[in-house]
Amino acid sequence: MKEIGIETEFITLGQLLKMTDTISSGGMAKWFLSEHEVFVNGELEDRRGRKLRPADEVRIPEVGEFLIVVAEGMSFNAD
């Protein structure tokens, strides 16, 4: 499982797809999610705007598995 460090409170699923080079542009996110299965914390997800926070796990079959973590040197307080 590859760790994806974020410097903000959350990123969207669409941003993750682009960060991992699964898609080449943000505009492809909706299409990709309609054609491919993506799982967030074990549940099928098709919303490109789904907020991903530290400790969330994303599995994209044939691409990889990713764990969202806080980037080194950053800290966030969960409300």
What CATH number should be reported for the domain holding residue 37? 3.10.290.10
Position 11 pLDDT exceeds 70: yes
Range of the domain at 65: 2-70
Report yes or no on 30 lying in a domain.
yes
Q: Are 22 and 13 in contact (CB under 8 A)?
A: no
17 within 8 A of 32, measured Cβ to Cβ: yes
pLDDT the model gives residue 79: 45
The answer to whether position 75 is within a domain reads no
Q: Is residue 43 part of a domain?
A: yes
In a domain, 78, yes or no: no
Q: Tally the domains of the chain.
A: 1
pTM: 0.86
Per-residue pLDDT tens over the stretch 30-72: 999 999 999 999 999 999 999 999 999 999 999 999 999 998 7
